[in-house]
C-alpha cells in the first residue's frame, strides 16, 4: 500500500501511481489522495484527476516552477506531492483510528448511496439475453445479481459523467462486443469485462447493454453536473417500462 | 453587438484557452488547438488572451458584422476578404458595421483564428466558452457554428471603435462611410516563430512510460520515420500513419490520466496523438508525449500532412516552453502598449 511512484505525464502533468490493479482499497487511496492534493492547493496545479489506481496532476509549468531561478517545475512539484502523499499514508496507517483494513475503502463526504432506476432487458437492454447465455445464467438472475450489489464509483472518464463502477459480480464479467455499436442510447447500463458503467449520452460503444436508466447522468447546467462522483456508492433498482416512462421528463 | 454566421466553412467553432479543473468528472480541456495563435489574435484586438474567438478549420466561414468591429486573424494562412478587398492577417483590422468577411481556402496550416474585440460573448459552460465538439459540451451545446448563428460580441466602447480608423495609422482601403469599409493597421506581427509556414519543423517528443515497451525497431522508427496525419484526425486526436509500432509484449493496462499531447499506441500500431479534446483517461500504452511547446505546430498539420518527431528531454521541453511563454508575454505587452498608444493619439 505504501508503494507509490510519481512519474511525468509529458511536460505539464504528473502521474502518481498507487498500484496496477482495479481494487477498492487502491482506488479509495487514489480518491483520498486526489482530495488531499486539491486541498493542498499546490502552486500551478490546474487539475487533479483520480483514476482506478492513480492520480493525474495537471500543471502550468510556468506557475509550478516554484521559488528560485532555473528550478524545474517537476522537481518542485514532485517534492510537494511527496509531502502530501507521505502525510496521507501516515494518516491511513492501520494503527491510526481511521482504519482502512476492510478493503472497502473509508467513508467519504460525498458518500450517500445513489439509487439508479434501471429498466432491464428488451429494447433497453438488447444484450441481456446474449449476456445471460454467455454467463450461463437466466436473464432474471443476471438482473438480480446486477441489482443486488452495492457499487462504488471508481472514476469518471471517456466522456463527461461516464462512471466506471467497482463491485460487479464476478459471474457477470463478460467481454465487450466483437463490433462496437456506433450509437449507444443515453442512459444505457452496460457491462464491459469486469466493469459496469452507464453511458451519459448517446455515444459509440462496445460494452454489452443490459438496461437503461431514465436519469440524466451529466448536465453541465446543474450545480453538480455529474450525477455520480468518484467514491460515491451506487445501487441499481430494477423498474418496469411504465416507471421508466414516468421518470422520463 | 453580434456577428452573424452566413456560412460556417468546413468546421468553425468558438474556442478560448480551454476548460480545466473538471477532469475528475470526465470533462476534458478542449480549447484552441493552436493556443498561441489564439492568444496573439486576442492581443491584437485588445482582448484578454483567454477571450473566446473563432477557430476556423481548412476552409473559412462567411460572417456579417452587425456593428463596427476590430478583428485580427492569425494562425493558418487563409484567403480573407471583405467584398473585393483582401484582409491582411496578423494585425488589427477595423471593419465598418455591415461588413461581410469571407474567409476562404487555407493556403498553409490547418487552423486559423479570428479574434473580435470584446470576444465572442457566449455564456461560459463550466468556466469556458470552448466548444468540446466530441463531448457535445459548451456553449451552442458544444457544436460547431452553423449558418444563421448570431454570435454575441462583448462590449467595446463605441467611441473607442470610432477612433480606431485613424488611431491604427492605417489607410482606409475605402471611404469609411461606405459599406465594407476596412482600415488595416500599417504594422503587423511577423508570423515567425509563432507559425510554421512550411509545415516541416520537427515535433519534439518526451518519452512516455511505455516507450521502453516498444520493440527496438519501433523505438527507432518513432524518431527516424516520417508519419502521415491520417484522414480521420480531428480535435480529439491525430492518427499517425507510417511505420507500424509494436510492443515487445502485450501490456495489460488500466485506465489512467491522459492529456493533450499524449501519444497512445492502440493495437493496430498507428500511434494517436491526443489533441485539445482528448478524453481525460485512456487505457492504451503511452509511448510518448508531444512537448507542449510543439503542440500548436502539430495542430497546424492537416490530414495528409507529414510529421517528423525528434526526441527531447523533459527539462529541454519545459525550458523551451518557459522561453516561449516569456517571449509571448513580452510580445503581448508590446502589442498592448502599441494599441493603447494609438487609441489615445
3-state class (DSSP) for residue A53? coil
pLDDT at B337: 87
Contacts of B217 (CB under 8 A, 6+ apart): B246
Pair B188, B226 in one domain: no
Closest CA to B74 of B62, B91, B57: B91
Confirm if B145 and B337 have CB atoms less than 8 A apart.
no
What is the spatial distance between Cα A162 and Cα A178, in angstroms, rounded to a whole number?
A: 21
3-state class (DSSP) for residue A64? helix
Say which residue, A3 or A234, is predicted with more confidence: A234
What CATH number did the domain enclosing B270 receive? 2.40.100.10
| Domain final residue pick, B193, B214, B245 | B193
Pair B27, B155 in one domain: yes
- On whether any CB of chain A is under 8 Å from the CB of B273, the answer is no
Assigned domain for B55 exists: yes
Predicted confidence (pLDDT) per residue in A88-140, tens digit: 988 886 654 444 444 445 555 556 899 999 999 999 999 999 999 999 999 99
Pair B28, B152 in one domain: yes
Pair B131, B151 in one domain: yes
pLDDT at B177: 55
When pLDDT is averaged across residues A203-213 and rounded to a whole number, the result is 95
Assigned domain for B319 exists: no
Looking up cell 511505455 gives B210
What is the spatial distance between Cα B48 and Cα B269, in angstroms, rounded to a whole number?
A: 42
Pair B132, B264 in one domain: no
Q: Is the CB of B26 less than 8 angstroms away from the CB of A157?
A: yes
Pair B280, B253 in one domain: yes
| Domain final residue pick, B172, B193, B214 | B193
The grid coordinates listed for B188 are 503587423
Confirm if A126 and A185 have CB atoms less than 8 A apart.
no
- On whether any CB of chain B is under 8 Å from the CB of A69, the answer is no
Assigned domain for B16 exists: yes
What is the spatial distance between Cα B96 and Cα B159, in angstroms, rounded to a whole number?
A: 13
Of A46, A52, A230, the CB nearest to B20: A46
Rounded to two decimals, what is the model's pTM? 0.93
pLDDT at A174: 92
Q: What's the number of domains chain B is made of?
A: 2
Looking up cell 500500431 gives B269
Predicted confidence (pLDDT) per residue in A46-90, tens digit: 999 999 999 999 999 988 877 665 668 888 899 999 999 999 988
Helix ranges, chain A (H): 24-40, 61-64, 73-91, 128-135, 139-148, 241-247
To probe the interface with A, which of B22, B205, B232, B281 has the most A CB atoms within 10 Å? B281
pLDDT at B171: 54
The grid coordinates listed for B205 are 517528443
What is the spatial distance between Cα A42 and Cα A80, in angstroms, rounded to a whole number?
A: 7
Say which residue, B222 or A20, is predicted with more confidence: B222
When pLDDT is averaged across residues A5-11 and rounded to a whole number, the result is 95
pLDDT at A99: 40
Q: Is the CB of B256 less than 8 angstroms away from the CB of A162?
A: no
The CA distance from B318 to the nearest CA of chain A, in Å, is 6
Pair B174, B257 in one domain: no
pLDDT at B165: 66
Assigned domain for B80 exists: yes
Put simply, the chain A residues between 39 and 58 with a CB less than 8 A from any chain B CB are 46-56, 58
Q: Could you list the residue range(s) of the whole structural domain that residue B186 is in?
A: 2-193
- On whether any CB of chain A is under 8 Å from the CB of B133, the answer is no
Assigned domain for B334 exists: no
- On whether any CB of chain A is under 8 Å from the CB of B247, the answer is no
Pair B13, B105 in one domain: yes
Of A10, A56, A218, the CB nearest to B23: A56
| Domain final residue pick, B147, B163, B193 | B193
Pair B37, B134 in one domain: yes
Pair B56, B183 in one domain: yes
What is the spatial distance between Cα A179 and Cα A173, in angstroms, rounded to a whole number?
A: 18
Q: Is the CB of B257 less than 8 angstroms away from the CB of A51?
A: yes
Assigned domain for B268 exists: yes
Q: Is the CB of B137 less than 8 angstroms away from the CB of A220?
A: yes
Q: Is the CB of A225 less than 8 angstroms away from the CB of B27?
A: yes
Q: Within 13 Å of residue B214, how many CA atoms lie on the same side as its CB?
A: 29
Pair B226, B148 in one domain: no
Ordered per-residue pLDDT tens for chain B, 345 residues: 899 999 999 999 999 999 999 999 999 999 999 999 999 999 999 999 999 999 999 999 999 999 889 999 999 999 999 988 999 999 999 998 899 999 999 999 999 999 999 999 999 999 999 999 999 999 999 999 999 999 999 998 777 776 676 667 655 555 555 555 788 888 899 999 999 999 999 999 999 999 999 999 999 999 999 999 999 999 999 999 999 999 999 998 899 999 999 999 999 999 999 999 999 999 899 999 999 999 999 999 999 999 999 999 999 999 999 999 999 999 999 998 888 776 554
Q: What are phi and psi of B108, to 5 degrees?
A: -140, 145
**pLDDT class for A1, splitting at 50, 70, 90?**
very low
- On whether any CB of chain B is under 8 Å from the CB of A66, the answer is no
Pair B228, B304 in one domain: yes
Put simply, the chain A residues between 143 and 162 with a CB less than 8 A from any chain B CB are 155-162
Contacts of B131 (CB under 8 A, 6+ apart): B13, B14, B15, B30, B137, B138, B139, B140, B142, B143, B144
pLDDT at A98: 45
Assigned domain for B328 exists: no
What is the spatial distance between Cα B48 and Cα B175, in angstroms, rounded to a whole number?
A: 31
Assigned domain for B331 exists: no
Neighbours of A245 (CB within 10 A): 11
Q: Which domains does chain A have, with CATH numbers?
A: 5-91 (3.30.1360.40), 114-247 (2.40.100.10)
Whether the complex's predicted ipTM is more than 0.90 is answered with yes
3-state class (DSSP) for residue A186? coil
Closest CA to A132 of A124, A147, A121, A119: A121
Closest CA to B191 of B49, B75, B35, B104: B75
Q: Which residues of B touch A222 (CB under 8 A)?
A: none
pLDDT at B340: 75
The grid coordinates listed for A243 are 416507471
- On whether any CB of chain A is under 8 Å from the CB of B259, the answer is yes
What is the spatial distance between Cα B332 and Cα B325, in angstroms, rounded to a whole number?
A: 10
Question: Quick one: CA torsion of B271, B276, B278, B281, rounded to 10 degrees?
Answer: 110
pLDDT at B50: 96
Q: Is the CB of B322 less than 8 angstroms away from the CB of A62?
A: yes
- On whether any CB of chain A is under 8 Å from the CB of B337, the answer is no
Amino acid at each position: 500500500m505504501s508503494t507509490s511512484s510519481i512519474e511525468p505525464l509529458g511536460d505539464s502533468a504528473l502521474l502518481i501511481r498507487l498500484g496496477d490493479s482495479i481494487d477498492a482499497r487502491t482506488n479509495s487511496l487514489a480518491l483520498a489522495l486526489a482530495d488531499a492534493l486539491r486541498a493542498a492547493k499546490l502552486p500551478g496545479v490546474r487539475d487533479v484527476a483520480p483514476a482506478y489506481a492513480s492520480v493525474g496532476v495537471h500543471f502550468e509549468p510556468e506557475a509550478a516552477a516554484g521559488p528560485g531561478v532555473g528550478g524545474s517545475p517537476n522537481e518542485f512539484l514532485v517534492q510537494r506531492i511527496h509531502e502530501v502523499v507521505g502525510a496521507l499514508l501516515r494518516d491511513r496507517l492501520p494503527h491510526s483510528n481511521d482504519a482502512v483494513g476492510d478493503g472497502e475503502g473509508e467513508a467519504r463526504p460525498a458518500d450517500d448511496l445513489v439509487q439508479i432506476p434501471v429498466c432491464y432487458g428488451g429494447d433497453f437492454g438488447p444484450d441481456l439475453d446474449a449476456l445471460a447465455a454467455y454467463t450461463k445464467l437466466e436473464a432474471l438472475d443476471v438482473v438480480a445479481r446486477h441489482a443486488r450489489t452495492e457499487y462504488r464509483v471508481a472514476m469518471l472518464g471517456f466522456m463527461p459523467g461516464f462512471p466506471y463502477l467497482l463491485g460487479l459480480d464476478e459471474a457477470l464479467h463478460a467481454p465487450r462486443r466483437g463490433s462496437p455499436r456506433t450509437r449507444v442510447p443515453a442512459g444505457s447500463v452496460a457491462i464491459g469485462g469486469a466493469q459496469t458503467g452507464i453511458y451519459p449520452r448517446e455515444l459509440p460503444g462496445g460494452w454489452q447493454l443490459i438496461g437503461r436508466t431514465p436519469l440524466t447522468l451529466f448536465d453541465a447546467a446543474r450545480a453538480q453536473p455529474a450525477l455520480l462522483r468518484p467514491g460515491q456508492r451506487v445501487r441499481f433498482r430494477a423498474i418496469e417500462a411504465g416507471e421508466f416512462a414516468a421518470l422520463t421528463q | 453587438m453580434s456577428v452573424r454566421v452566413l456560412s460556417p466553412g468546413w468546421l468553425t467553432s468558438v474556442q478560448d484557452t480551454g476548460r480545466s479543473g473538471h477532469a475528475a468528472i470526465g470533462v476534458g480541456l478542449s480549447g484552441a488547438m493552436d493556443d498561441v495563435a489564439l492568444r496573439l489574435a486576442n492581443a491584437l484586438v485588445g482582448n484578454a488572451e483567454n477571450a473566446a474567438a473563432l477557430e476556423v478549420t481548412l476552409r473559412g466561414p462567411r460572417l456579417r458584422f452587425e456593428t463596427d468591429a476590430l478583428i485580427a486573424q492569425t494562425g493558418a494562412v487563409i484567403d480573407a476578404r471583405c467584398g473585393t478587398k483582401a484582409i491582411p492577417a496578423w494585425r488589427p483590422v477595423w471593419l465598418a458595421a455591415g461588413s461581410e468577411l469571407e474567409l476562404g481556402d487555407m493556403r498553409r496550416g490547418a487552423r486559423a483564428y479570428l479574434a473580435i474585440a470584446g470576444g465572442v460573448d457566449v455564456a461560459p459552460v463550466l468556466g469556458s466558452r470552448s466548444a468540446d465538439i466530441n463531448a457535445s459540451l459548451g456553449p451552442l451545446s458544444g457544436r460547431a457554428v452553423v449558418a444563421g448563428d448570431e454570435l454575441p460580441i462583448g462590449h467595446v466602447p463605441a467611441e473607442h471603435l470610432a477612433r480606431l480608423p485613424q488611431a491604427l495609422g492605417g489607410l482606409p482601403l475605402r471611404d469609411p462611410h461606405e459599406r465594407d469599409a476596412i482600415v488595416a493597421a500599417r504594422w503587423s506581427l511577423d508570423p515567425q516563430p509563432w507559425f510554421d509556414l512550411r509545415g516541416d519543423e520537427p515535433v519534439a517528443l518526451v518519452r512516455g512510460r511505455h516507450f521502453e515497451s516498444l520493440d527496438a525497431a519501433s523505438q527507432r522508427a518513432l524518431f527516424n520515420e516520417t508519419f502521415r496525419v491520417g484522414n480521420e484526425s480531428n480535435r480529439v486526436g491525430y492518427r499517425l500513419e507510417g511505420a507500424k509500432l509494436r510492443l515487445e509484449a502485450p501490456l495489460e493496462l488500466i485506465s489512467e490520466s491522459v492529456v493533450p499531447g499524449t501519444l497512445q499506441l492502440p493495437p493496430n500500431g498507428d500511434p494517436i496523438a491526443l489533441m485539445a479534446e482528448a478524453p481525460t483517461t485512456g487505457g492504451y500504452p503511452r509511448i510518448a508525449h508531444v512537448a507542449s511547446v510543439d503542440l500548436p505546430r502539430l495542430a497546424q498539420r492537416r490530414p495528409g500532412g507529414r510529421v517528423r518527431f525528434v526526441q527531447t528531454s523533459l527539462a529541454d521541453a519545459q525550458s523551451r516552453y518557459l522561453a516561449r511563454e516569456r517571449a509571448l508575454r513580452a510580445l503581448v505587452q508590446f502589442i498592448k502598449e502599441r494599441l493603447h498608444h494609438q487609441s489615445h493619439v
